[in-house]
Structure 1
């Protein structure tokens, strides 16, 4: 008996998208649902209008700057903090309780404090995103460093390696895949926190576009904003995944 040849992944992805669009269109045809979930044709028309007017580009650019700014600061701080926590038990005892405490607090709860301390400028929005991304990445990177095979460390010590050599030649390469996983999680946290960050008095941005449209029940614009955030976030995640595969080719590739 001959088995059917497995279709390529890109074809399966395309099929999934088509099925999703059909399901979306059928749901929007139901009167009770269609008032909230606007049909794809109307959303595409709104997309064209926003592109031609230039408003969408302005909102995308504003949100990108905030996400990249908050995420970059989070990554810059998370890497040394995570390595110090994993390498020095004293640092871990001091820092870990605070990280675990703030990790349970949703970033939106910090908005009043951020507004009072920083106003409603760009720094406030970047701060909210920074907190969300830092807390996600520092935990992931810390666990990666802690999971480094102790046999490798002992072998390096037997061969006469100093702490500096062990850190840069063993710990960093072995934990690098976890850093990239932390980057992916941090990017996801940055985009999911974007709308909350733009509650701090933004007059442009994708989150602001969604909130303003919801006030006037312009659900086509709301759905468009959600889709644009999802598409950009997915594209950034795929790019990091591509880097992960190229830079960690010595590891067994994760099955998706």
Structure 2
């Protein structure tokens, strides 16, 4: 009887008591996912990784294992940044190079969002729209920007239009395809229920499909802006006298490695800041993402 009573008492215990770390039914910290404790609190790990990488970089250059022509030291990169910030590069201050490149990338990004998001939603909702626009997008999407750079120059000249359009083409496809994929996130039961209550097609789009597709759209925007910064260097290869991409290319021709790495870090810092902004918007606009 004692053994049976012990077994019955064990049977009455909650399942989660065996593994208390996974017994929580909801996250206790902001950003912590269900069933995985502490997953959202990784800032210290990221900072430690960056510090470790910088220390390894400094140790290798300080020991003279790599020539400065190939990998300059971290302090030389900082000194080059200060020098270019105060003295400029090719007659233009650093902030002007940053402003011009940022205007090109975000101008193309906004244009891609204005055109790509509605088109992607239309492709997701209408088989006719998908049949018309899906083939050309899928055909040009895998082509690297350098392949159609000559066409941009022939068709639109060597001015700002060709540069912005080149970046636009690299950003447009991910955003349009992301919006199209987001339409499939909408539950068909909710759509049918809305139509049964007399909702119009626009109301269904605004209140059901768009909120359901928003997580996919925001993710596609983050991916698209990354492609935009990647294409920036190619866009500023021809007839550019200002911009971060131009600065990197010009410095590489004269083997100014410290300037090249400094320009890469500037591009990475701007892109990372925008990515953090997009993550903040995701938490505000789609707080349910990753929680279901």
TM-score for both structures, normalised by structure 2:
0.81
Note if 1:225 corresponds to 2:263. Answer: yes
Q: C-alpha distance in 2, partners of 1:37/1:251?
A: 41
Q: Which residue, 274, 279, 282 being the options, matches 1:236?
A: 274
Match of 2:124 in 1: 86
Q: C-alpha distance in 2, partners of 1:10/1:104?
A: 35
Note if 1:130 corresponds to 2:164. Answer: no
Aligned-residue RMSD, C-alpha: 1.9
Partner SS for 2:79: helix
Q: C-alpha distance in 1, partners of 2:289/2:43?
A: 24
1:94 CA drift (Å): 1.2
1:61 CA drift (Å): 0.8
Q: C-alpha distance in 2, partners of 1:253/1:187?
A: 25
Partner SS for 1:123: helix
Partner SS for 1:160: coil
1:119 CA drift (Å): 1.3
Q: Given that residues 167 and 228 in structure 2 are in contact (C-alpha distance below 8 angstroms), is that contact kept between their aligned partners in structure 1?
A: yes
Match of 1:164 in 2: 202
Q: Given that residues 69 and 255 in structure 2 are in contact (C-alpha distance below 8 angstroms), is that contact kept between their aligned partners in structure 1?
A: no
Q: C-alpha distance in 2, partners of 1:42/1:182?
A: 36
Partner SS for 1:210: helix
Q: Which residue, 138, 144, 158 being the options, matches 2:182?
A: 144
Structure with a larger share of its residues in helix: 1
Q: Given that residues 116 and 176 in structure 2 are in contact (C-alpha distance below 8 angstroms), is that contact kept between their aligned partners in structure 1?
A: yes
Q: Given that residues 124 and 200 in structure 1 are in contact (C-alpha distance below 8 angstroms), is that contact kept between their aligned partners in structure 2?
A: no
Greater mean deviation of Cα atoms: 160-169 or 207-216: 160-169
Q: How many residues align?
A: 250
Match of 2:59 in 1: 26
Q: Given that residues 195 and 208 in structure 1 are in contact (C-alpha distance below 8 angstroms), is that contact kept between their aligned partners in structure 2?
A: yes
Q: Structure 2: any 5+ residue segments left out of the alignment?
A: 1-20, 22-37
Q: Which residue, 95, 99, 104 being the options, matches 2:137?
A: 99
Note if 1:119 corresponds to 2:160. Answer: no
Q: Given that residues 60 and 66 in structure 2 are in contact (C-alpha distance below 8 angstroms), is that contact kept between their aligned partners in structure 1?
A: no
Q: C-alpha distance in 2, partners of 1:253/1:209?
A: 43
Q: Which residue, 42, 55, 58 being the options, matches 1:9?
A: 42
1:225 CA drift (Å): 0.4
Match of 1:187 in 2: 225
Partner SS for 1:249: coil
Q: C-alpha distance in 2, partners of 1:138/1:27?
A: 44
**Larger Cα-atom Rg:** 2
CA deviation map 1:24-59 (0-9, x unaligned): 113334444542111101111001101112421111
Q: Which residue, 85, 108, 117 being the options, matches 1:51?
A: 85
Q: Given that residues 27 and 33 in structure 1 are in contact (C-alpha distance below 8 angstroms), is that contact kept between their aligned partners in structure 2?
A: no
Q: C-alpha distance in 2, partners of 1:232/1:15?
A: 21
